[in-house]
Structure formats: structure tokens, C-alpha cells
Structure 1
């Protein structure tokens, strides 16, 4: 099927996913509430103690910790939306929607890209609200337009990558319950990274793991871009991890979709 038809069918599936969001406002509310609750909890409950351990002259403050933690909360938001996408895909899978779509004259991949584009749209919505809320709490950035454009590009790339991975997880899951649990690793790994505390403060073994898992270079790159400081080699590592995860998720999702029986 030609590219124009793929784009047309993908837009149709995107509208379907966005209608689901409008029909269930509680999903939109949770999308906004989760990153805000995390931000408030870490800044106002733990920020005083954790901020004092930041590597800044005289020890960090709660305001310093707010600036430090924002990129980690962004990643948590992306992972949260991706987790919800796995559930949505599993509902379509177990409910027979994918099997029915396969009998229709539409591009097969559009069924998946509709979920991916819908998730990216929800990610942009959630991150926009979270950034405004962080600014209201005192978050400030020294980055210029280029830094913010770079951060936005990395965020979108990460959203695409994680969503393709969770789409595949949703297709591979045998039930909605399994689909809701499998992607939880994406919610846990940011806690074992530089997202919330510097890796230098971790025990040797944990520090080695934290410094060599995908989330740390991604978070460090976002942190550098929004602070207006040099990105260094973390930038290439972040892009490489995103591309590898996205490609693996896409190929896995295409393979799983091919196993869906026609009804």
C-alpha cells in the first residue's frame, strides 16, 4: 500500500485514539496528575534532604533540587503514558479489534501507528502541563532556543521509542492485566538512574548499573540541554539508546501484529 494511504489510515486511527481520550476524561486527568504528584512529592517531601546532597557549592537547596529533578520527571511522564498505551493495545487485542481491522482495506501498520501517535500527543499534553507547573514552583532555565529545541526533539524521540516498545508489549500480553504490569520496568528504572540523585552517591555496584542503563544518558542530556551546559558524549548515547529501543519495539510489534488471527 502506498505512503499516502498509510498516512491517511494512520490519521484515522489517531482520531480514534483521541476520541477515546475525550470520552474518558479520567484518563486525561491521571495523565496530568501523575507527574504533578511526583514533582510535589519529591520537591516538598524529599527535596530538602536530597537537595543538600547535590554537588553544588555549600550544598543544594530545595530550589536546586527542583531544577535537578525536572528532567527525571519528564522521563517518568513519558514512561507513564507509554504504560497506558500497552493497556490500550491489549484491550484492542483481547477484544478482537485488531483481528477485525485486519479484514478491512486499511494499511496494517496504521493500526499501530495510530496508538503511537496518540501516545505522543498525550505525552506532549502531559509534559506541557508539567512544565508550566514546574515554572510556577520556581523552575528556571538558562538554555537558549537551541537547547529547548534539542530537548523537545529528544523528548519526542524518546516518546516514539518507548511507545513502540509498549505497543509490542501490549500485543504480546495475553491479558490486559499482564499488559499493565509488563511495562512497569520503564517506571522503575528511572529511580535507579541519575534522575533523582547523582550516581556518585550510590554504592559501587548500583552506580555501575545506573551509569550504564538507558535512562541516565537520556536524563543527563535533557538536564544539560535545559541548563545550557555542554551535552558531551551523553547526547550520542541518549539518541543511540532511543533509536535502538524504538527499532526493536517496532520490529517486535510488526511481528506480533502478524500473529493476530483474522476473524
Structure 2
């Protein structure tokens, strides 16, 4: 049985409780982060902590916890749950108050929850060798996708639609252009140039995205941050996604059409290799 963290206490998971009046439960009024663990160390914790603070600031949420303390909580959960490879999920909500569309008083204590998920061999996913298949769906989410909120019903629906079509995931499309995957950022490679959606309110500002693009530029790879169409994606030489849990993952087909050779390409393989090597060095 896992040990989890709830509002200052480390508890067996079957003893963890959150109020039915919690605004995360009633209004999806909460934000979250997922930090990967490799070899017992946290991958890009600082990036996730910074984005968590940004999400809270955008929603005018009270600061939940000191970031140094948050790091120690993460480390303690890794230790007590004996996590070698896996994930740590962190959720912060505006707290518990009687149901009202208006925010509760500013001194309402936020709800802070963390738990671990063991994922043995996280960096050695077979899909990195075979590639993943995606389908496209309309992007029907709210307009502030840059805030990492717990409003994940539509992405969940998208993953179910992909599964029903025999694919692994879905890329969401708005006005003909790809925004992002259901839980990842989306990329194509054409004539040696990596193309991915520019930052804005339309997509999540991925922590893995930021690191991967920095590593790509350091390796003298060309990067073009702009919107790209489904038609461009279908004509690409390679395609891939990035996320905290999948790192850099090749995409080999979109809507049933083969991308490039239909196998993971050299650019994606090199980016995955660089990312894992560099992030392991910087892990805390």
C-alpha cells in the first residue's frame, strides 16, 4: 500500500480523505503537475515547480506550499514508496468551502495532495522503438490551455476516441492547425526542421517541450515554433510528442496514414537519447 501526502500528513492511501466540498471536486478548481522519477531521482523538478506557481498565479490561488518544502515532500514520497522509476502526481485546489461560484475567502487553506505511481522501465518503453499512432479530433477545450488545470474530461474523451479507432492517442485540431496531443505537445520534422506550435494560451507550456527544444538547438538542429496543419503533418518526414511521462515519443501514423517511412526516424531517436542523458545528469 502506498504512502500518500494530504495537507501536511503522510498517510496510507486507504486513509487519505478530501472534503466533498473541495472546489477541485465541485468546480475542477485546481491545478496539477506530474514529475517523472528515473533511477530514484526527480526529473526537471524546478521546471514543474515554476509552472505550478504560474498556474496558481493565473487563477489567483493562494500559494499552497514553499517550493523547497515541496521538493522535500517529493523526495520523501520517493523514499517511503521505494520508487526507482515512476511518477509523482501533485494536485493543488482552492480548498474546501460551501458551494458557490464565487471564490471563497482568501484565507481558505488550499488542498495539497501528492501520490506516487511506480513505472518500472519508464525510460525503456517499447513504443519508443515501434512508434505510436494518433488520430485527429476537434479541439473543444476551454481557451486557457496554458494553465495546467484538472479539467481533463475532454482529453480523456479524446484518448477513448483514439482507442476506439485502434490508435494510441489523439492530436487536437483548431481551425485546421494542430494544437497539441491530449496529454503531450506535438511536433513534426520536415527537411531537417523541427516544427511545433508556438507558445500561447492555445497550448500547455510543456516542461519537457522547453527542455527538448533547448537541447535540439544546442545540437544545431533547426527549430520553427509555429502552427502547423494536419496536411503538413501528413506530409512530414517524422513526427513525435513530448511529455513528462513519455519523454520524447515517435509518432508513425496519423489518421491511418503512414508518416515518413512508417518507423521512428533518426531525429526523434537522437532527441530522446539526448533528453534522457541530459535530464538524468540534472536529476535531483
TM-score (ref. length: structure 1): 0.31
More strand per residue:
2
Flag the structure with higher helix content. 1
Q: TM-score normalised to the size of structure 2? A: 0.29
Higher RCO, 1 vs 2 (CA within 8 Å, ≥6 residues apart): 1
